[in-house]
C-alpha cells in the first residue's frame, strides 16, 4: 500500500493548484492527497504533511503525524498551530529564495542610496535638484538576522562595496561583517546604520523588538527596510519617525495583517514604499523539489530533514 502524504493549503491560496501538480510529479511513489480527500483511516496513516497554509484544526486531525514540511521559510504560524504537540517542523531552505531576497535587498538599498525614491517625490512636484549621494563604501548597512536570507543579502551587498554589520543571536565570525549581539548590540548597530534591513524570524524574542525606543536610536536621515514580518516592528513609530524627519525612507513588505488595511495611513505616505509581501517570492519548482526530496529521503533512507527549534521559534 502506498504511503499517504497530505498537502495542506487554504482554498483562497492561488498557488495551491500549481504546487499540487508539482508535488504529484515529484512524489509519484506516494498517495498524495489534499485534506478534503482524506478518509478517516488515511488521516490515521498519515505521518508527514506538506504545508503551504493550514489551520490548527487540520493539524490536530492527524493522530500519528511525525513531522511537517513547510514550503515557507517563516514558520511562526505553524509553531503556534502545533503548540504543545510533538510534531516537528522542517522549514524551507532554498538557495533560490535566498538569491531572490539578496537581489531584492540590493535593489532597494540602491533605491535608497541613489535617492531614487526621493527623485520620484521631486518629480511629482516638478523639482530639479541634485541630492547628495553617499559612496557605497561609506554607507553602513545593518542586517538584523544573519541566517539563510540575511547572509546571502549581506554577501551581495559586500560584492557592491557596502559596509556591512549584522545582528544575530549566536556568535559567528564572518569575513568583512562586523557582528553585534544582545540588546546592547542591537542599540549599537541601530545607532550606526545608514540603512537597516530586517531579516529576523518572528518569535517570542523578536516580536515588536524594533520598538519605538529602538527606532528612536536610529541615525537622523537613515532608512529602514522590513522584509521579515510586520509584528517585529512598531510601524506607528516608524511612521512617526518619518513624519518628524528622523528616518528618510521606509520600505515595508510585510504587515501584521495582510493585505494591509485600505484605511492605513502608511499607504499615502510618499516616504514609505509599500510592497505586497513580495521581497522573496517562492520559486514553486525549487521549493516543491526540496520539500519532496526531504519526504523521499525520510521514507527511502530513514533520514529526517533538519528541524527548527520550536522553543527558539526558528
Which stretches of the chain bind ligand NAP, using CB under 6 A? 73-74, 145-150, 167-170, 199-203, 205-206, 227-229, 253-254, 277, 279-280, 314
Dihedral class, residue 165 (left if φ above 0, else alpha if ψ from -120 to 50, else beta): beta
Query: Nearest approach, Cβ of 286 to ligand NAP (angstroms)?
Result: 13
The position carrying cell 488515511 is: 42
Strands across the sheet containing 222-226: 177-181, 163-168, 140-144, 195-198, 222-226, 247-252, 272-274
- Count CB neighbours of 154 within 10 A: 25
**Assigned C-alpha cell, 311:** 522553543
CB of 171 vs ligand NAP, minimal distance in Å: 8
User: Rounded to the nearest 5°, which phi and psi values hold at 32?
Assistant: -90, 125
Q: How far is the CA of 70 from the CAs of 92, 93, 258, in angstroms?
A: 6, 10, 19
Strands (E), 54-176: 67-70, 88-90, 140-144, 163-168
Contacts of range 110-118, beta carbons closer than 8 Å, 24 or more positions apart? 111/251, 111/273, 112/195, 112/223, 112/225, 112/248, 112/249, 112/251, 113/139, 113/194, 113/195, 117/249, 117/271, 117/273, 118/248, 118/249
Name the minimum Å distance from CB 276 to ligand NAP: 10
Q: Which CB atom, from 65 or from 254, has the smaller least distance to ligand NAP?
A: 254
Of 74 and 305, nearer to ligand NAP (C-beta) is 74
CB of 92 to ligand NAP, least distance (A): 8
Residue sitting closest to ligand NAP (CB): 147
CB of 313 to ligand NAP, least distance (A): 7
The minimum distance between CB 60 and ligand NAP, in angstroms, equals 24
Instruction: Report in angstroms how near the CB of residue 88 gets to ligand NAP at its nearest.
Output: 15
Whole-angstrom Cα distance, residue 218 to residue 195? 9
CA distance 154 to 156: 5
For residues 172 and 297, which CB has a smaller minimum distance to ligand NAP in the complex?
Answer: 172
* Cα 158-72-183 angle, rounded to 5 deg: 55
* 197 vs 237, beta carbon nearer ligand NAP: 197
- Buried-state track 75-89, b at ≥16 Cβ within 10 A, e below 16: bbbbbebbeeeebbb
Q: Which is nearer to ligand NAP, 150 or 305 (CB)?
A: 150
Q: Which of 248, 252, 282 is nearest to 264 (CA)?
A: 252
Q: Which is nearer to ligand NAP, 52 or 146 (CB)?
A: 146
Nearer to ligand NAP, 121 or 281 (CB): 281
Cβ of residue 16: shortest distance to ligand NAP, in angstroms?
A: 18
If the CB atoms of residues 5 and 73 are measured against ligand NAP, the closer one turns out to be 73
Amino acid at each position: 500500500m502506498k504511503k499517504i502524504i497530505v498537502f495542506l493549503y487554504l482554498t483562497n491560496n492561488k498557488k495551491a493548484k500549481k504546487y499540487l501538480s508539482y508535488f504529484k510529479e515529484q512524489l509519484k511513489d506516494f498517495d498524495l492527497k489534499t485534506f478534503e480527500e482524506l478518509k478517516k483511516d488515511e488521516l490515521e496513516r498519515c505521518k508527514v504533511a506538506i504545508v503551504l497554509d493550514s489551520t490548527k484544526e487540520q493539524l490536530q486531525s492527524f493522530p500519528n503525524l511525525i513531522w511537517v514540511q513547510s514550503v515557507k521559510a517563516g514558520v511562526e504560524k505553524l509553531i503556534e498551530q502545533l503548540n504543545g504537540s510533538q510534531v516537528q517542523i522542517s522549514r524551507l531552505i532554498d538557495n533560490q529564495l535566498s538569491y531572490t531576497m539578496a537581489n531584492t535587498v540590493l535593489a532597494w538599498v540602491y533605491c535608497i542610496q541613489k535617492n531614487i525614491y526621493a527623485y520620484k517625490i521631486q518629480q511629482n512636484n516638478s523639482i530639479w535638484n541634485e541630492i547628495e549621494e553617499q559612496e557605497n563604501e561609506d554607507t553602513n548597512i545593518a542586517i538584523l538576522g544573519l541566517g539563510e536570507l540575511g547572509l546571502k543579502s549581506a554577501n551581495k551587498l559586500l560584492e557592491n562595496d557596502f559596509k556591512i554589520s549584522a545582528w544575530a543571536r549566536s556568535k559567528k565570525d564572518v569575513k568583512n561583517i562586523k557582528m553585534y549581539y544582545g540588546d546592547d548590540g542591537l542599540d549599537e548597530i541601530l545607532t550606526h546604520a545608514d540603512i537597516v534591513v530586517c531579516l529576523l524570524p518572528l518569535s517570542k524574542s523578536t516580536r515588536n523588538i524594533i520598538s519605538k525606543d529602538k527606532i528612536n536610536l536610529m541615525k537622523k536621515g537613515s532608512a529602514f527596510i522590513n522584509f521579515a514580518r510586520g509584528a517585529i516592528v512598531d510601524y506607528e513609530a516608524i511612521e512617526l519617525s518619518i513624519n518628524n524627519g528622523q528616518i528618510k525612507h521606509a520600505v515595508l513588505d510585510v504587515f501584521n495583517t495582510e493585505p494591509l488595511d485600505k484605511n492605513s495611513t502608511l499607504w499615502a505616505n510618499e516616504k514609505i514604499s509599500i510592497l505586497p509581501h513580495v521581497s522573496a517570492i517562492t520559486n514553486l519548482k525549487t521549493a516543491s523539489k526540496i520539500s519532496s526530496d526531504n519526504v523521499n529521503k525520510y521514507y527511502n533512507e530513514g533520514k529526517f530533514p533538519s528541524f527548527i527549534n520550536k522553543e527558539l521559534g526558528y
